[in-house]
Amino acid sequence: MRELLFHYKNFRHHPAATTVIAGCATLPLLAALYLITQRK
């Protein structure tokens, strides 16, 4: 748990890292939504 908090504190100082992580997290969701809409 301490390690997670440590990493979180580090990421707070790097907005670019958080945006990259957020982008990587949303890309699969967007791809899934696209595939679902293409199937119908």
Looking at residue 13, its pLDDT comes to 67
Separation between Cα atoms, residue 23 and residue 11, nearest integer Å? 15
**Residue type (1 letter), 27:** L
pTM for the predicted model, two decimal places: 0.43
The total of structural domains in the chain comes to 1
Query: Residue 14's domain spans which residues?
Result: 1-39
Residues in the chain: 40
Residues 1-40 have pLDDT tens digits of 677 767 666 666 677 777 877 888 899 899 999 999 998 7
**Per-residue pLDDT, 38:** 93
Q: Strand ranges (DSSP E) for 1-40?
A: none
